[in-house]
Amino acid sequence: MSLYRNSAWFLKGVTEFTKNAFISASKRFVEKDLEVSMAGRSFMITGANSGIGRATAMAIAKKGGTVHMVCRNKDKAEEARADIVKESGNKEIFVHILDLSETKKVWEFAESFKRKYKSLNVLINNAGCIMSQREENTEGLEKSFASNVLGVYILTKSLIALLEKSAEPRVVTVSSGGMLVQKLRTGNLQTDRGRYDGAMVYAQNKVREKPRFRQSKVREEPRFRQSKVREEPRFRQSKVREEPRFRQSKVREEPRFRQSKVREEPRFRQSKVREEPRFRQSKVREEPRFRQSKRQQVVITEQLAKNHLNIHFSVMHPGWVDTPAVANAMPEFHSSMRESLRTPEQGADTAVWLAVSHAAATMPSGHFYQDRKMVSAHLPLAWTRSSSLEEQKFMFSLEDLAKSHQPH
C-alpha cells in the first residue's frame, strides 16, 4: 500500500468514519425518511446475529418488516432472534443457517429459499469475515474470498429472479472504507500465490503513519510545507534506510512523542523488538485481503446494477464501528480507537436508510454511500480506478468460478 493511500485513508477516517463524524453528519438527516412502515415487505440479512447485521435486523423488525436472518451459528442466531422478537414485538423473524464460505451450500440455500418463499423485497449482504491465516473450505476455495466475494455474488445472483418479482426490490451490500485504498485485482483471486498477508509494508506503515495523524493538522502540515528538503528524501529512501533515522534521531522524534504522551507513550514504551512483531502477528495484517474483497463487492454492485435495472443496488460504508468482529480481527485498532468508534446502530443507519426509505430509492443505483449520502468509491489521486476491461475480466472469472461450484 502506498504511503499516500494509507495516509489519505487514515486522515479521511479520523474525520469521516468516527462516532463524532456520524453525529455531525446526522444533523442533516431527514427524520421522516425512516418514519415508514415495512409491514408486508420481506428482508434477508446475512450475518444478522451480531454487530451491524443485528442492529439492522432490529431496526427493520421494529418497522414491521419480515426479517430472514441468515447466520452461520445456530445458537447465536436463535438468541439474537429471541431478543429481536422481544424488543420489537414482531414475530415475523426467521432464522436460516448458512455458512457463506461453503459455495455449494449457498447455491442450495438460495434455490430452497425461492421454492419456499414467494417474495423478497430487500437483500442486505452484511456478513463478512477476516481470516488470520489462509484456509480453504471443503471445495478448495480460500475462505475469505469464498465468504466475502463468491458467496455474496452467488447469493445475490441466485435471488435476482425472486427480487424482480417483488415490489420495489433492493440489494444493499455493507462494504468498508478500507477498500478505498485498493485497486481491483483481477488475478490471484484466492490469494494462492505470494504471501498470504499481502504486503508486510502495510503493517510497518501502520506503526509509522498512525501517530502522525493523531497529531493536530496545525503541527503536522507545517512540517511538510516548511521542511520539504528534509522530509521528502526520507520518503524516497527505502524502508531499510528510513527506520535507522528514526532510531538514531531521538532528538527529532521525542518532541512528537512528548506531544501525545497519553496515546503514544504505551507504544514507545515497548522495545522495537516487541513492537514490530506485535503488528506482524496482529490480524490487521490480513486487512489488505479483506479490503480487496470489499473493493470487489463495490465492482459487483456496479456491474449488477447495469444489468438489472429493475432492482436498486447500493453499497455502503458503515464507518468505524465497535463490533465483535472488529475487536477480534483488529485488536490494536479497536483498543486505540475504541472511544471514537460508532455504535452498531450508528453503523447500521445508512444500510437501514438504503433498505427502507423512499428517498434512497430515488438515488442512482449501483453507487457507494456513506452517512445517507452518495460518495466517491475512490480517494483522490490514489490510482484505484480500474478499466471496464479489468472489471469485465473480474466478473467473467467470478461467474466461471460460481458455475464450476454449482450443484448439478
Total-model pTM: 0.76
pLDDT score recorded for residue 324: 87
* pLDDT at 37 exceeding the cut of 70: yes
Q: Note whether 314 and 366 are within 8 A (CB).
A: yes
Higher confidence at residue 225 or residue 68? 68
Q: Where are the alpha helices (DSSP H) in 49-150?
A: 51-62, 74-88, 103-116, 143-145
Q: Over the Cα atoms of the chain, what is R_g?
A: 22
**Residue 402: per-residue pLDDT:** 94
If phi > 0 it is left, if psi is from -120 to 50 it is alpha, else beta; for residue 140 that is left
Which residue ranges make up each domain of the chain? 3-196+288-404, 200-283
Q: Considering the candidates 153, 196, 202, 369, report the single residue annotated as catalytic.
A: 202
**Distance in angstroms (rounded) separating the CA atoms of residues 285 and 291:** 11
Residue 192 pLDDT grade (very low, low, confident, very high; cuts 50, 70, 90): low
Average pLDDT over every residue of 103-129: 96
Q: Does the pLDDT at position 397 exceed 60? A: yes
Residue 39 in this model has a pLDDT that exceeds 90: yes
**What percent of the chain has a predicted confidence (pLDDT) above 70?**
75
Nearest to 296 by CA among 195, 193, 397: 397
Least confident of 12-26, 238-252, 386-400: 238-252
**3-196+288-404 architecture in CATH?**
3-Layer(aba) Sandwich (3.40)
What pLDDT is attached to residue 206?
Answer: 31
Q: What is the pLDDT of residue 169?
A: 98
pLDDT in tens, 329-340: 888 888 888 899
pLDDT tens per residue across span 300-356: 999 999 999 999 999 999 999 998 888 888 888 888 888 999 999 999 999 999 999
Give the range among 198-207, 229-238, 377-386 with minimum mean pLDDT: 198-207
295: its cell numbers: 473493493
| 202 is an active site residue | yes
Q: Does residue 263 carry a pLDDT above 80?
A: no
Return d(Cα 318, Cα 335) in angstroms, integer: 19
Residue 182 pLDDT grade (very low, low, confident, very high; cuts 50, 70, 90): confident
Q: Helix, strand, coil proportions of the chain in percent (round to 5)?
A: 60, 10, 30
Average pLDDT over residues 254-272: 43
